[in-house]
């Protein structure tokens, strides 16, 4: 029995306190040939790793955040408070939960550390390979009971399950599609990239003050990309409330966003295309989207087609309700945790715990 210290958010919900760490890869080679000496990956873990009598990890879970996010986004009542407590689906007294900041995000290596636009142009596959190295070399995790993620982390879950099929017992991508970033999604990203680069203040990435005009335009596109008509109508039910909602959101984002970091984050999906990997996926995979997700809307039919390629794949599209949160439904665990429990039941752990 692991004793877990609890932390809580202002709502009074509690979850086990994470431990933080940083893993450094001395000479990381990116898929495009660029290199970085000293790639840092910051991570948070909850629980304790268990291995079987042959040293194989039995209880590790990797959770990956979305574009512009970080590991911190999961330590909230709506996620950690629904999943990591005793008796909950990813009970931290039984699981070893790893939540990392992907390359270019959070406290991991990123352009704003100093290299600016000379930072290597990373892609999703680089992020997944670096995470694999963090797990195997940094944390002694040679097998995952579950890989899951939201949005970009959802897309990376498809990649993980296809690139390292023997490494995972189960995969759960949330708010993602198993295809190249194209159509409205790619166009939105191009708008963000162009808005930043075309601001004269951007100066090829060598700005001393944020290129505010371009950055604002980029953040507006980002807001629009994942907007939630029903929820926002409720949260901003009259003209002034809507203006205030947007102004607050913009002010917050401007304080925390660096133009190069955002440019890189939004660009990094350029290499994403899991289609050639779908037939390589052997583990049960459960993809969850929601019908009000403007980034991955159900009328595209891409999830339904792609999931047929996955031998043990299943897809669920949550209907729009008063409780769904558009693209952000992915972090509201109460809305899909029953499905997670079903996935864990359906999938057999390849290795079983050492019983003492
Ligand atoms: C498919 O899975 C195998 C392991 O079973 C792995 O070696 C291979 O790299 C994967 N294919 C691709 C295209 O990643």
Pocket test for ligand 1, best of 128, 164, 282 (most atoms within 8 A of CB): 164
Residue 199 a catalytic site member: no
pLDDT one-digit tens code per residue, 165-213? 999 999 999 999 999 999 999 999 999 999 999 999 999 999 999 999 9
Distance (Å, whole) CA 336 – CA 339? 5
Distance (Å, whole) CA 16 – CA 93? 9
Centre of ligand 1 to C-alpha 345, Å, is 26
Which numbered atom of ligand 1 lies nearest the CA of 163? Answer: 14
Centre of ligand 1 to C-alpha 232, Å, is 43
Q: For ligand 1, say whether the CB of 281 is within 6 Å of any of its atoms.
A: no
Question: Are 185 and 192 contacting, i.e. CB atoms less than 8 angstroms apart?
Answer: no
- Give the predicted TM-score (pTM) of the model: 0.96
Confidence at 353, pLDDT banded by 50, 70, 90: low
Residue 191 confidence (pLDDT): 98
pLDDT one-digit tens code per residue, 280-334? 999 999 999 999 999 999 999 999 999 999 999 999 999 999 999 999 999 999 9
Query: Among residues 151, 188, 253, 267, which one is catalytic?
Result: 151
Centre of ligand 1 to C-alpha 336, Å, is 30
Centre of ligand 1 to C-alpha 161, Å, is 9
Question: Are 173 and 87 contacting, i.e. CB atoms less than 8 angstroms apart?
Answer: no
């Amino acid at each position: 029995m692991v004793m877990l210290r609890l932390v809580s958010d202002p709502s009074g919900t509690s979850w086990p306190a994470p431990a933080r760490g940083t893993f450094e890869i001395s000479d990381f080679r990116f898929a495009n040939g660029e290199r970085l000496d000293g790639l840092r990956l910051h991570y948070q873990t909850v629980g304790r790793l268990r291995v079987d009598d042959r040293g194989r990890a039995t209880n590790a879970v990797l959770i990956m955040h979305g574009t512009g996010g970080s590991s911190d986004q999961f330590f909230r009542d709506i996620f950690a408070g629904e999943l990591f407590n005793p008796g909950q689906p990813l009970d931290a007294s039984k699981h070893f939960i790893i939540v990392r900041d992907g390359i270019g995000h959070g406290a991991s290596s990123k352009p704003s550390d100093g290299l600016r636009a000379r930072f290597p142009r990373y892609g999703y596959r680089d992020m997944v390979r670096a995470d694999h190295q963090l797990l195997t070399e940094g944390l002694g995790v040679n097998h995952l009971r579950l890989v899951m993620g939201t949005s970009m982390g959802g897309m990376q879950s498809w990649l993980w399950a296809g690139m390292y099929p023997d490494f995972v017992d189960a995969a759960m991508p949330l708010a993602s599609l198993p295809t190249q970033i194209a159509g409205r999604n790619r166009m939105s990203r191009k708008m963000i990239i162009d808005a930043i680069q075309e601001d004269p203040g951007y100066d090829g990435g060598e700005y001393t003050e944020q290129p505010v005009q371009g950055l604002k335009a980029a953040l507006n596109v980002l807001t629009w990309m994942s907007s939630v008509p029903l929820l926002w109508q409720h949260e901003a039910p009259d003209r002034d409330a809507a203006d205030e909602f947007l102004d607050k959101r913009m002010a917050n984002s401007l304080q925390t966003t660096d133009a190069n970091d955002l440019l890189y984050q939004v660009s990094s999906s350029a290499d994403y295309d899991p289609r050639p990997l779908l037939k390589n996926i052997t583990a049960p995979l459960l993809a969850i989207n929601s019908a009000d997700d403007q980034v991955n809307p159900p009328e595209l039919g891409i999830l339904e087609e792609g999931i047929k390629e996955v031998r043990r794949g299943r897809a669920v599209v949550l209907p729009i309700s008063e409780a769904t949160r558009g693209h952000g439904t992915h972090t509201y665990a109460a809305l899909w945790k029953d499905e997670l429990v079903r996935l864990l039941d359906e999938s057999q752990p390849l290795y079983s715990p050492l019983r003492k």
